Amino acid sequence: SKSLSRKVTLTNVTDKPLELSLTTQSSPGLAIQVPENVTVPPRSSTIIKIDVQVSMSATDLYAAELNARIKLS
């Protein structure tokens, strides 16, 4: 398996705090971890960490497309 982390900046351009719930969807063999909830203050930015782990269980496959989606609501 292979792991990596990335930081993403969320920016709130409004005058009110932005409270977000984060959910993920991903292909088998791909795991995405994000914070469950994030609050971005008014006219400010917040950095979140995204952890990704790829673990292909079918070693007989030479290539596979892995897709993931992070939903902010």
Across the chain, which has 73 residues, the per-10-residue mean pLDDT values are 93 97 91 96 97 76 74 88
CA separation for the pair 53, 29 (Å, rounded): 8
Structure tokens at 42: 């008014």
Q: Go through 2-16 and write b for each residue having 16 or more CB atoms within 10 A of its CB, e for each that does not.
A: eeeeeeeebebeeee
Contact 29, 57 (CB under 8 A): yes
**Total-model pTM:** 0.79
Per-residue pLDDT at 29: 83
Instruction: Report angle CA 73, 71, 3 to the nearest 5 degrees.
Output: 140
